[in-house]
Amino acid sequence: LQERKTFKDVESLISFKEVATLKPEHGTTVLQLALILDVTALDREIIERLLPDLLTLTPNLMIFTLWVTPPISTASFAHVPLPSLEVVRTNLPHRALRPFIALRPTLRALDISACGRTRRCALCTISIQQVNDITCLVSCAPKIVHEDVERLRIALDDTPTLMSTAISSFPFALHRLHVLTVEYSVGDKAILQVIAAAMPGVRNLKLLERSKQANLHSARPWIDCAGWCAALKKLSQLEQLVIRTDGVLRSATGDRKGERELFRRWVGGSQPHSTLRYIAVWQRYSDRNRGVVSEWSREDGVWGGKWTDAPTSADFAIFD
């Protein structure tokens, strides 16, 4: 029996440890382990003491989630052998996480939160070439992303760094990258052009706008239609484009004729993009009662549009 265990309180964690100590099969069958806890200072100390034993009791672990709020500050479990571990998701500060990650040659996916109180990301001092799926914040991305990454998700943080600036600072192009999700700010006009230059092999692209005070009609990156369309053409392997925005595609809300014309330009007009098959844009994302999802897809070479008013996240998980 292959099991997934999720713990949301310290008491259940202690109980599992006691049972697995007496009956080892309770731990050896666990392949996915998640600790998602809001804790007191005392609880944090208990968790730090428990973790080495807990991981020793689950030696076949493949997926490990450690999300403790506030984050624990040390990786007391760093040297526990986990020969099958492939996925780690954690909000552990990177300085504490470093010794654990450095000893994981089987690791394939890494999902990390804020770096912690350091000026320089601690993970940049170790090799994570074996990790081909990375989720991180924009301030750490240029320091830890490497040339062999195939899937990448970058979120904005509290710094003023533009996503396009961070991507431009990568010392190499990511030719193996196929799946990319990035957050971008409204004023980041060059985001698509920078992606096309640095990540030319992207097939699945998701752009998630993060806006604080931008209004509905603030200029979005696609306002420069010629530059936007040129960047799309440079993404010569692009198959799917998904955009989430608090803005609108056309100045007149509900202008579906105008949207059709805009989409036709995006997909190449008389010289259609050779690989692009699907575009979806969630407009007015934060205004759930007036939002609309515009979808544009190609079947048998013919493009067609579809619109959904007042969409819900449950129906459109593609925008997450």
Question: pLDDT digit string (tens) for 9-40?
Answer: 999 999 999 999 999 999 999 999 999 999 99
- Does residue 293 contact residue 282 with C-beta atoms inside 8 Å? yes
pLDDT at 2: 64
> Which of 95-99, 234-238, 286-290 is predicted with the least confidence, judged by mean pLDDT?
286-290
Check whether residue 212 and residue 126 sit in a common domain: no
Q: pLDDT tier at 290 (50, 70, 90 boundaries)?
A: confident
**Residue showing tokens 């099969």:** 25
145 in any annotated domain: no
Residue percentage of the chain with pLDDT more than 70: 98
208 in any annotated domain: yes
A 10 A CB-CB count for 212 gives 7
- Does residue 149 contact residue 174 with C-beta atoms inside 8 Å? yes
Give the torsion through C-alpha atoms of 246, 251, 257, 258, to 10 deg: -100
Check whether residue 227 and residue 287 sit in a common domain: yes
pLDDT at 130: 96
Check whether residue 44 and residue 88 sit in a common domain: yes
Q: pLDDT tier at 118 (50, 70, 90 boundaries)?
A: low
Check whether residue 115 and residue 192 sit in a common domain: no
Q: Which CATH number covers residue 17?
A: 3.80.10
10 in any annotated domain: yes
Which of 79, 101, 131 represents a domain boundary (last residue)?
131
Check whether residue 99 and residue 222 sit in a common domain: no
Residue ranges making up the domain that contains 119: 1-131
Strand partners, 37: 68
pLDDT at 126 over 80: yes
Q: pLDDT tier at 194 (50, 70, 90 boundaries)?
A: very high
Check whether residue 303 and residue 181 sit in a common domain: yes
Alpha-carbon gap, residue 181 to 112, rounded angstroms: 15
Side-chain-facing half-sphere of 261: CA atoms under 13 Å: 6
Check whether residue 160 and residue 108 sit in a common domain: no
pLDDT at 272: 84
Overall average pLDDT of the 79-92 stretch:
96
Check whether residue 65 and residue 166 sit in a common domain: no
Check whether residue 223 and residue 263 sit in a common domain: yes
**Residue showing tokens 């007391």:** 76
- DSSP-based helix, strand, coil % in the chain, nearest 5: 30, 25, 45
Overall average pLDDT of the 156-169 stretch:
93
Quote the number of domains for the chain.
2
Q: In 3D, which of 126, 99, 98, 130 has the Cα closest to residue 112?
A: 98
Alpha-carbon gap, residue 283 to 311, rounded angstroms: 10
Check whether residue 56 and residue 157 sit in a common domain: no
Overall average pLDDT of the 153-170 stretch:
94
The DSSP call for residue 319 is: G
> Which of 54-63, 115-124, 235-244, 293-302 is predicted with the least confidence, judged by mean pLDDT?
115-124
pLDDT at 1: 56
144 in any annotated domain: no
Which of 97, 131, 165 represents a domain boundary (last residue)?
131
Q: Residue 241 is encoded by which pair of tokens?
A: 């484009």
The overall average pLDDT reported for the chain is 92
Alpha-carbon gap, residue 279 to 243, rounded angstroms: 8
141 in any annotated domain: no
Kindly report the pTM of this predicted structure: 0.93
Q: In 3D, which of 209, 192, 119, 193 has the Cα closest to residue 156?
A: 209
Check whether residue 166 and residue 95 sit in a common domain: no
Residues 6+ apart with CB under 8 A from 158: none
Check whether residue 126 and residue 156 sit in a common domain: no
163 in any annotated domain: yes
pLDDT at 299 over 70: yes
63 in any annotated domain: yes
